[in-house]
Amino acid sequence: MAPIPRGSLPRIILYHQTVNDPEGKPISILPLITRSDIAVTHLIVAAIHINEDPSAITLNDHHPSDPRFATLWAELRIAQASGVTVLGMLGGAAKGSYARLDGDEAMFEEYYGPVHNLIRERGLNGLDLDVEEHMSLGGVIRLIDRLRADFGPHFLITLAPVAAALLDPRRNLSGFDYEALEVMRGKEIAWYNAQFYCGWGDASNPLMYEMCIGKGWSPEKVVMGLVTTPENGPGWVPWQILGRNLTLLKQRFANFGGVMGWEYFNSSPGGKEKPWEWAQRMTQLLRDDASSEVLREIDASVDRHNQPEITKAEALALEADPDVKSSAQGPPVPAEFQYYSDSSSGEE
Protein backbone atom coordinates (compact mmCIF):
# COMPACT_ATOMS: atom_id res chain seq x y z
CA MET A 1 0.00 0.00 0.00
CA ALA A 2 1.31 3.46 -0.89
CA PRO A 3 1.97 5.94 1.94
CA ILE A 4 -1.28 7.47 3.17
CA PRO A 5 -1.49 11.15 4.17
CA ARG A 6 -2.48 11.09 7.83
CA GLY A 7 -3.96 14.58 8.05
CA SER A 8 -6.62 14.18 5.36
CA LEU A 9 -10.23 13.05 5.61
CA PRO A 10 -11.75 10.78 6.69
CA ARG A 11 -10.01 10.74 10.06
CA ILE A 12 -9.24 7.49 11.89
CA ILE A 13 -9.06 8.29 15.60
CA LEU A 14 -8.41 6.00 18.56
CA TYR A 15 -8.75 6.71 22.26
CA HIS A 16 -6.07 5.14 24.44
CA GLN A 17 -7.13 4.89 28.09
CA THR A 18 -6.19 1.39 29.19
CA VAL A 19 -2.47 1.99 28.78
CA ASN A 20 -1.24 -0.88 31.01
CA ASP A 21 -2.43 -4.45 31.44
CA PRO A 22 -3.46 -5.83 34.89
CA GLU A 23 0.17 -6.73 35.62
CA GLY A 24 1.28 -3.18 34.85
CA LYS A 25 2.89 -3.99 31.50
CA PRO A 26 2.48 -1.13 28.98
CA ILE A 27 0.11 -1.76 26.07
CA SER A 28 2.08 -0.64 23.06
CA ILE A 29 0.66 1.58 20.34
CA LEU A 30 3.71 1.06 18.10
CA PRO A 31 1.88 -1.30 15.68
CA LEU A 32 -0.45 1.61 14.85
CA ILE A 33 2.61 3.57 13.75
CA THR A 34 4.94 1.02 12.21
CA ARG A 35 2.54 -1.00 10.04
CA SER A 36 2.27 0.33 6.50
CA ASP A 37 -1.35 -0.80 6.19
CA ILE A 38 -2.57 1.36 9.10
CA ALA A 39 -3.24 5.09 8.79
CA VAL A 40 -4.42 6.27 12.19
CA THR A 41 -4.58 10.06 12.00
CA HIS A 42 -5.13 10.95 15.67
CA LEU A 43 -4.55 9.33 19.05
CA ILE A 44 -6.31 10.65 22.16
CA VAL A 45 -4.78 9.70 25.48
CA ALA A 46 -7.42 9.45 28.21
CA ALA A 47 -8.51 10.48 30.72
CA ILE A 48 -7.17 13.62 32.38
CA HIS A 49 -9.00 14.51 35.59
CA ILE A 50 -8.93 17.66 37.72
CA ASN A 51 -9.27 16.84 41.40
CA GLU A 52 -10.09 18.88 44.49
CA ASP A 53 -6.40 19.58 45.08
CA PRO A 54 -5.38 21.57 41.96
CA SER A 55 -1.88 20.07 42.02
CA ALA A 56 -3.28 16.53 42.09
CA ILE A 57 -4.16 16.33 38.40
CA THR A 58 -4.35 12.71 37.26
CA LEU A 59 -4.23 10.61 34.14
CA ASN A 60 -6.78 8.00 35.11
CA ASP A 61 -5.84 7.31 38.76
CA HIS A 62 -2.21 8.47 38.79
CA HIS A 63 -0.22 11.65 38.27
CA PRO A 64 0.85 12.00 34.61
CA SER A 65 4.50 11.88 35.70
CA ASP A 66 4.09 8.48 37.38
CA PRO A 67 6.73 5.99 36.11
CA ARG A 68 3.96 3.69 34.87
CA PHE A 69 3.40 6.19 32.03
CA ALA A 70 7.02 6.41 30.86
CA THR A 71 6.49 4.05 27.92
CA LEU A 72 3.21 5.75 27.00
CA TRP A 73 4.75 9.22 26.71
CA ALA A 74 7.77 7.87 24.81
CA GLU A 75 5.59 6.05 22.29
CA LEU A 76 3.34 9.08 21.84
CA ARG A 77 6.41 11.14 20.93
CA ILE A 78 7.27 8.51 18.33
CA ALA A 79 3.70 8.73 17.03
CA GLN A 80 4.00 12.50 16.68
CA ALA A 81 7.32 12.15 14.88
CA SER A 82 5.57 9.73 12.50
CA GLY A 83 2.85 12.25 11.63
CA VAL A 84 0.12 11.16 14.04
CA THR A 85 -1.55 13.99 15.96
CA VAL A 86 -1.78 13.37 19.72
CA LEU A 87 -4.44 14.91 21.93
CA GLY A 88 -5.33 14.52 25.58
CA MET A 89 -8.90 13.90 26.74
CA LEU A 90 -10.12 15.97 29.66
CA GLY A 91 -13.07 14.70 31.68
CA GLY A 92 -15.25 11.78 30.73
CA ALA A 93 -17.46 9.78 33.04
CA ALA A 94 -15.57 10.82 36.21
CA LYS A 95 -17.25 14.08 37.20
CA GLY A 96 -15.71 17.17 38.78
CA SER A 97 -13.21 18.47 36.23
CA TYR A 98 -15.61 20.81 34.46
CA ALA A 99 -17.43 21.90 37.61
CA ARG A 100 -14.06 23.13 38.86
CA LEU A 101 -13.40 24.98 35.59
CA ASP A 102 -16.86 26.57 35.67
CA GLY A 103 -16.38 28.70 38.79
CA ASP A 104 -15.32 32.31 39.18
CA GLU A 105 -12.12 33.65 37.62
CA ALA A 106 -9.91 32.83 40.60
CA MET A 107 -11.22 29.27 40.75
CA PHE A 108 -10.79 28.85 37.00
CA GLU A 109 -7.17 30.00 37.12
CA GLU A 110 -6.40 27.68 40.02
CA TYR A 111 -7.69 24.57 38.27
CA TYR A 112 -6.76 25.48 34.69
CA GLY A 113 -3.08 25.98 35.49
CA PRO A 114 -2.20 22.27 35.92
CA VAL A 115 -4.00 21.42 32.66
CA HIS A 116 -2.01 24.11 30.87
CA ASN A 117 1.24 22.78 32.35
CA LEU A 118 0.45 19.18 31.35
CA ILE A 119 -0.21 20.19 27.74
CA ARG A 120 3.09 22.09 27.64
CA GLU A 121 5.15 19.41 29.38
CA ARG A 122 3.91 16.58 27.17
CA GLY A 123 3.75 18.55 23.93
CA LEU A 124 0.14 17.61 23.21
CA ASN A 125 -1.21 18.77 19.86
CA GLY A 126 -4.71 19.32 21.18
CA LEU A 127 -7.29 18.73 23.89
CA ASP A 128 -10.53 16.77 23.60
CA LEU A 129 -13.22 18.17 25.91
CA ASP A 130 -15.43 15.28 27.03
CA VAL A 131 -17.99 17.13 29.15
CA GLU A 132 -20.21 14.54 30.85
CA GLU A 133 -21.43 16.79 33.67
CA HIS A 134 -23.26 20.10 33.82
CA MET A 135 -21.25 23.07 32.55
CA SER A 136 -22.46 26.50 31.52
CA LEU A 137 -22.15 27.72 27.95
CA GLY A 138 -20.11 30.66 29.20
CA GLY A 139 -17.82 28.29 31.07
CA VAL A 140 -16.97 26.12 28.08
CA ILE A 141 -16.49 29.21 25.90
CA ARG A 142 -14.05 30.65 28.47
CA LEU A 143 -12.09 27.38 28.43
CA ILE A 144 -11.97 27.26 24.63
CA ASP A 145 -10.90 30.90 24.41
CA ARG A 146 -8.13 30.36 26.94
CA LEU A 147 -6.80 27.26 25.18
CA ARG A 148 -6.74 29.13 21.88
CA ALA A 149 -4.98 32.15 23.41
CA ASP A 150 -2.38 30.02 25.19
CA PHE A 151 -1.56 27.46 22.50
CA GLY A 152 -2.14 29.25 19.22
CA PRO A 153 -4.04 28.68 15.99
CA HIS A 154 -2.76 25.16 15.22
CA PHE A 155 -3.74 23.65 18.56
CA LEU A 156 -6.70 21.29 18.08
CA ILE A 157 -9.76 21.73 20.26
CA THR A 158 -12.35 18.99 19.91
CA LEU A 159 -15.44 18.02 21.92
CA ALA A 160 -17.03 14.64 22.55
CA PRO A 161 -20.81 15.03 22.87
CA VAL A 162 -23.22 12.15 22.81
CA ALA A 163 -24.60 12.01 19.27
CA ALA A 164 -28.13 12.83 20.44
CA ALA A 165 -26.92 16.22 21.71
CA LEU A 166 -26.22 17.30 18.12
CA LEU A 167 -29.92 16.84 17.36
CA ASP A 168 -31.64 17.86 20.59
CA PRO A 169 -30.09 19.98 23.39
CA ARG A 170 -32.31 18.21 25.91
CA ARG A 171 -30.66 14.84 25.20
CA ASN A 172 -27.35 15.97 26.51
CA LEU A 173 -24.82 15.16 29.23
CA SER A 174 -22.96 18.48 29.07
CA GLY A 175 -25.53 21.06 30.18
CA PHE A 176 -24.84 23.55 27.40
CA ASP A 177 -26.37 23.58 23.92
CA TYR A 178 -23.92 22.37 21.26
CA GLU A 179 -25.81 24.19 18.54
CA ALA A 180 -25.32 27.46 20.40
CA LEU A 181 -21.66 26.64 21.04
CA GLU A 182 -21.07 25.96 17.34
CA VAL A 183 -22.67 29.27 16.40
CA MET A 184 -20.54 31.18 18.92
CA ARG A 185 -17.19 29.31 18.78
CA GLY A 186 -17.41 26.91 15.85
CA LYS A 187 -14.39 28.47 14.18
CA GLU A 188 -12.27 27.37 17.15
CA ILE A 189 -13.56 23.77 17.27
CA ALA A 190 -11.86 21.33 14.90
CA TRP A 191 -14.56 18.65 15.09
CA TYR A 192 -16.90 16.69 17.37
CA ASN A 193 -16.14 13.10 18.43
CA ALA A 194 -19.84 12.25 18.64
CA GLN A 195 -20.66 9.15 20.70
CA PHE A 196 -22.92 6.92 18.59
CA TYR A 197 -23.25 4.28 21.32
CA CYS A 198 -24.44 3.52 24.87
CA GLY A 199 -28.00 4.47 23.97
CA TRP A 200 -27.06 8.02 22.94
CA GLY A 201 -26.57 7.21 19.28
CA ASP A 202 -26.92 4.46 16.71
CA ALA A 203 -24.22 3.36 14.30
CA SER A 204 -26.08 0.26 13.07
CA ASN A 205 -27.31 2.26 10.06
CA PRO A 206 -26.44 5.68 8.54
CA LEU A 207 -29.74 7.34 9.53
CA MET A 208 -28.68 9.17 12.69
CA TYR A 209 -25.47 10.49 11.12
CA GLU A 210 -27.49 11.68 8.12
CA MET A 211 -29.96 13.38 10.48
CA CYS A 212 -27.08 15.36 11.98
CA ILE A 213 -26.00 16.47 8.54
CA GLY A 214 -29.60 17.28 7.61
CA LYS A 215 -29.83 19.53 10.65
CA GLY A 216 -26.92 21.60 9.38
CA TRP A 217 -23.75 20.08 10.81
CA SER A 218 -20.88 19.80 8.33
CA PRO A 219 -19.84 16.17 7.67
CA GLU A 220 -16.25 17.34 8.09
CA LYS A 221 -16.93 18.22 11.71
CA VAL A 222 -18.93 15.15 12.78
CA VAL A 223 -16.80 12.10 13.55
CA MET A 224 -18.79 8.90 14.11
CA GLY A 225 -17.77 7.56 17.52
CA LEU A 226 -17.86 3.78 17.95
CA VAL A 227 -17.17 1.24 20.66
CA THR A 228 -14.47 -1.02 19.27
CA THR A 229 -15.82 -4.19 20.92
CA PRO A 230 -18.95 -5.25 22.83
CA GLU A 231 -16.77 -5.30 25.97
CA ASN A 232 -16.47 -1.51 25.85
CA GLY A 233 -20.16 -0.69 26.09
CA PRO A 234 -23.58 -1.11 24.45
CA GLY A 235 -24.00 -0.19 20.82
CA TRP A 236 -21.24 -2.23 19.22
CA VAL A 237 -21.98 -2.90 15.55
CA PRO A 238 -20.68 -6.11 13.87
CA TRP A 239 -18.11 -5.53 11.16
CA GLN A 240 -20.35 -7.00 8.46
CA ILE A 241 -22.85 -4.20 9.07
CA LEU A 242 -20.46 -1.44 10.07
CA GLY A 243 -18.31 -1.89 6.97
CA ARG A 244 -21.26 -1.31 4.65
CA ASN A 245 -22.51 1.67 6.64
CA LEU A 246 -19.14 3.41 6.60
CA THR A 247 -18.68 2.71 2.91
CA LEU A 248 -22.10 4.26 2.30
CA LEU A 249 -21.26 7.38 4.33
CA LYS A 250 -17.91 7.79 2.60
CA GLN A 251 -19.61 7.60 -0.79
CA ARG A 252 -22.45 9.92 0.24
CA PHE A 253 -20.31 12.63 1.85
CA ALA A 254 -17.06 13.57 0.13
CA ASN A 255 -15.93 15.32 3.33
CA PHE A 256 -17.00 12.57 5.75
CA GLY A 257 -15.35 13.40 9.07
CA GLY A 258 -14.28 9.86 9.86
CA VAL A 259 -14.51 7.54 12.86
CA MET A 260 -13.24 7.38 16.39
CA GLY A 261 -12.93 4.22 18.43
CA TRP A 262 -13.32 3.75 22.17
CA GLU A 263 -10.87 2.25 22.93
CA TYR A 264 -7.62 0.71 21.61
CA PHE A 265 -6.41 -2.03 23.98
CA ASN A 266 -9.03 -4.71 23.22
CA SER A 267 -10.37 -3.65 19.82
CA SER A 268 -12.05 -6.22 17.61
CA PRO A 269 -11.42 -8.32 15.68
CA GLY A 270 -7.95 -8.91 17.10
CA GLY A 271 -8.79 -8.34 20.76
CA LYS A 272 -6.09 -7.89 23.37
CA GLU A 273 -3.61 -9.95 21.34
CA LYS A 274 -3.85 -7.82 18.19
CA PRO A 275 -5.81 -4.64 19.02
CA TRP A 276 -4.29 -2.84 16.04
CA GLU A 277 -6.51 -4.88 13.64
CA TRP A 278 -9.43 -2.46 14.24
CA ALA A 279 -7.36 0.37 12.79
CA GLN A 280 -6.16 -1.86 9.99
CA ARG A 281 -9.72 -2.59 8.90
CA MET A 282 -10.72 1.06 9.22
CA THR A 283 -7.80 2.01 7.00
CA GLN A 284 -8.95 -0.48 4.39
CA LEU A 285 -12.56 0.71 4.56
CA LEU A 286 -11.96 4.46 4.63
CA ARG A 287 -8.64 4.90 2.81
CA ASP A 288 -8.76 2.15 0.19
CA ASP A 289 -10.81 2.56 -2.98
CA ALA A 290 -11.41 -1.19 -3.29
CA SER A 291 -14.29 -1.11 -0.80
CA SER A 292 -16.16 -4.10 -2.22
CA GLU A 293 -13.07 -6.28 -1.97
CA VAL A 294 -12.51 -5.15 1.62
CA LEU A 295 -16.11 -6.00 2.53
CA ARG A 296 -15.70 -9.49 1.07
CA GLU A 297 -12.56 -9.95 3.17
CA ILE A 298 -14.47 -8.86 6.28
CA ASP A 299 -17.25 -11.33 5.58
CA ALA A 300 -14.73 -14.12 5.04
CA SER A 301 -12.82 -13.36 8.24
CA VAL A 302 -15.77 -13.50 10.65
CA ASP A 303 -15.38 -17.21 11.38
CA ARG A 304 -11.61 -16.96 11.66
CA HIS A 305 -11.98 -14.45 14.48
CA ASN A 306 -14.74 -16.39 16.27
CA GLN A 307 -17.29 -13.63 15.77
CA PRO A 308 -20.92 -14.71 15.38
CA GLU A 309 -22.40 -14.75 11.92
CA ILE A 310 -25.23 -12.31 11.30
CA THR A 311 -28.48 -14.05 10.54
CA LYS A 312 -30.73 -12.89 7.72
CA ALA A 313 -33.24 -11.48 10.21
CA GLU A 314 -30.50 -9.58 12.03
CA ALA A 315 -29.15 -8.25 8.76
CA LEU A 316 -32.56 -6.95 7.80
CA ALA A 317 -32.94 -5.34 11.21
CA LEU A 318 -29.59 -3.63 10.75
CA GLU A 319 -30.00 -2.86 7.06
CA ALA A 320 -27.97 0.20 6.17
CA ASP A 321 -30.55 1.85 3.93
CA PRO A 322 -33.92 0.21 4.55
CA ASP A 323 -36.98 0.88 2.42
CA VAL A 324 -39.77 1.95 4.73
CA LYS A 325 -43.16 3.41 4.13
CA SER A 326 -43.34 7.01 5.27
CA SER A 327 -46.33 9.03 6.39
CA ALA A 328 -47.96 11.46 4.00
CA GLN A 329 -46.37 14.44 5.67
CA GLY A 330 -42.97 12.82 6.24
CA PRO A 331 -40.61 13.55 9.11
CA PRO A 332 -40.22 17.15 10.26
CA VAL A 333 -37.31 19.03 8.72
CA PRO A 334 -34.97 20.53 11.36
CA ALA A 335 -34.29 24.24 11.16
CA GLU A 336 -30.88 25.20 9.81
CA PHE A 337 -28.41 27.48 11.54
CA GLN A 338 -25.02 29.05 10.88
CA TYR A 339 -21.96 26.82 11.36
CA TYR A 340 -18.27 27.35 10.94
CA SER A 341 -16.19 24.70 9.19
CA ASP A 342 -12.42 24.98 9.00
CA SER A 343 -10.64 23.22 6.18
CA SER A 344 -9.06 19.91 7.09
CA SER A 345 -5.82 21.10 5.47
CA GLY A 346 -5.16 23.08 8.62
CA GLU A 347 -4.83 19.94 10.77
CA GLU A 348 -1.45 18.95 12.09
Q: Looking at the predicted structure, is the pLDDT value of residue 129 above 70?
A: yes
Mean pLDDT of 310-315: 42
List, for residues 253-294, the tens digit of each pLDDT value: 999 999 999 999 999 999 999 999 999 999 999 987 655 565
- Whether 341 and 218 have beta carbons less than 8 Å apart is answered as yes
Sign of the torsion angle spanned by Cα atoms 265, 269, 274, 280: negative
Q: In this predicted structure, what is the pLDDT of residue 287?
A: 86
Mean pLDDT of 298-317: 49
| CA atoms lying within 13 Å on the CB side of residue 161 | 27
Q: In this predicted structure, what is the pLDDT of residue 40?
A: 97
Q: Looking at the predicted structure, is the pLDDT value of residue 295 above 90?
A: no
List, for residues 150-196, the tens digit of each pLDDT value: 999 999 999 999 999 999 999 999 999 999 999 999 999 999 999 99
Percent over 70 (pLDDT), the chain: 81
Q: Looking at the predicted structure, is the pLDDT value of residue 30 above 90?
A: yes
Q: In this predicted structure, what is the pLDDT of residue 327?
A: 38
Mean pLDDT of 61-87: 97
**0.75 cut: is pTM over it?**
yes
